[in-house]
Amino acid sequence: MAPPAKIAVGSLVWVEDPDVSWIDGEVLEVNGEEIKISCTNEKTVVANASSVYPKDAEAPSCGVDDMTKLAYLHEPGVLQNLCSRYEMNEIYTYTGGILIAVNPFRRLPHLYDNHMMEKYKGIALGELSPHPFAVADSSYRQMINEGISQSILVSGESGAGKTESTKMLMRYLAFMGGRAATEGRSVEQKVLESNPVLEAFGNAKTVRNNNSSRFGKFVELQFDSRGRISGAAIRTYLLERSRVCQVSDPERNYHCFYLLCAAPPEVVDRYKLGNPRTFHYLNQSNCYDLDGVDDSKEYMVTRSAMDVVGISNDEQEAIFRVVAAVLHLGNIEFVKGKETDSSEPKDDKSWFHLRTAAELFMCDATALEDSLCKRVIVTRDETITKSLDPDSAALSRDALAKIVYSLLFDWIVNKINSSIGQDADSKFLIGVLDIYGFESFKINRCLTGMPFVFIILESRGLVLAVNCMVTMCV
């Protein structure tokens, strides 16, 4: 990396600002490590030299489409370039092989139609305006020309548009790979049609996003020797299991809980449900509804999507029976039992929820109570049963709920994969990884005020792509 430019009187610089992250200005005085700056917001500030960065006076006002062309590739320079392009309605920008998208929070159908796919077909990366289709085309061409499987990483903060970007990538890859299915739905269609089901059980409202994926998803598109799509598989991991039992205000638990509580009356009665506010796993937050979303309609949409991906009515009933059982589990409270350091259900209400959960799980109520209130330790010589105090029993209850929900989610994914169909003899694959990841940054800011999504192409393996993203962002 080139040495930092020397800051002198008259230099144009960027300096940190508490309101807009960075503000530009002109250096008035330099006194050792202290620099006096006249900012464009008409303020005069004194800053430490370590927090001042040079500004490129010759940078075009509309920004550059590839940030490797910037004179200074530092934080304010990058953010200003993205902001300038965003104001020109240019939401995509390259940094070498990395595509950065700034979510416009509105539909732009003209950017993703068939005409646009034809436009990017066979064009080298960088010859046309930055676009997800360019990344997908580059991935497909490298796979065909070099005979190497590819991977595309899509990452960014909650609400950045990762899932939508993943859909665009898969649409283009299906466009290039042709539709291998001669009758019925294509593989690509089946993958996209699985989204409503995965979103119902794996998405939730977060602070920044009403429909945030709380799991990682790796979609494998499999190709034959002619470069045609021959199969696909969805791999999921890192489901946020803690959300099942613990929700922060103003977030929500997984959508499926609210959908089931808003199901037709006969379904609600069959599972002995009611208002979401009556369930411990849901009422830890004051948010129960989403603006513009009718949970009762979404329940029917989810059931319809389950039909599409090959989940039978009996299997659907079993799925929602487990979801209801998890809600009832959360309402079981414990008090001290008759024996020392023991526990038992608190009152009639807790007994009701325990028996209902056992009925829905299709197990013995006494066995379920013992599994929550006792711990079995198996040694080489004997089996020891130890009673749990109320706090430990509550932890045992939550652990069971998280494990059951996680296994249910895995079962649904496996069922979807069986419906899509995989090609064990595929020649190549292109993997598209849709993963959350920016929530833990101490500083997560942007001059545009909009979240970013990063799309990275890597031909030699996913680990290198992850390292590439971390190196750029840290």
Q: Which residues are catalytic?
A: 158-159, 163, 209, 212-213, 437, 439
Pairwise CA distance, residues 431 & 139, whole Å = 10
Strand 44-48: give its sheet, edge to edge: 44-48, 34-39, 21-31, 12-17, 52-54
Asked if residues 471 and 458 have their Cβ atoms less than 8 Å apart, the reply is no
Pairwise CA distance, residues 245 & 170, whole Å = 34
Omega cis (within 30) before 250: yes
Residues counted in the chain: 474
C-beta neighbour count of 3 within 10 angstroms: 5
Pairwise CA distance, residues 84 & 101, whole Å = 13
Could you give phi then psi for residue 44, rounded to 5 degrees? -115, 125
Among residues 42, 154, 183, the alpha carbon closest in space to that of 437 is found at 154
Exposure string of 298-330, with b = 16+ CB inside 10 Å and e = fewer, is bbeebbebbeebebeeeeeebbbbbbbbbbbbb
CA 158 from chain center: how many Å?
7
Amino acid at 174: A
Structure-token match 């993943």, residue found: 166
Pairwise CA distance, residues 300 & 101, whole Å = 33
Asked if residues 393 and 373 have their Cβ atoms less than 8 Å apart, the reply is yes
Query: 380 is written with which tokens?
Result: 């080489």
Pairwise CA distance, residues 387 & 374, whole Å = 4
> Would you call 412 exposed, middle or buried from its count of C-beta atoms within 10 A (0-12, 13-18, 19+)?
buried
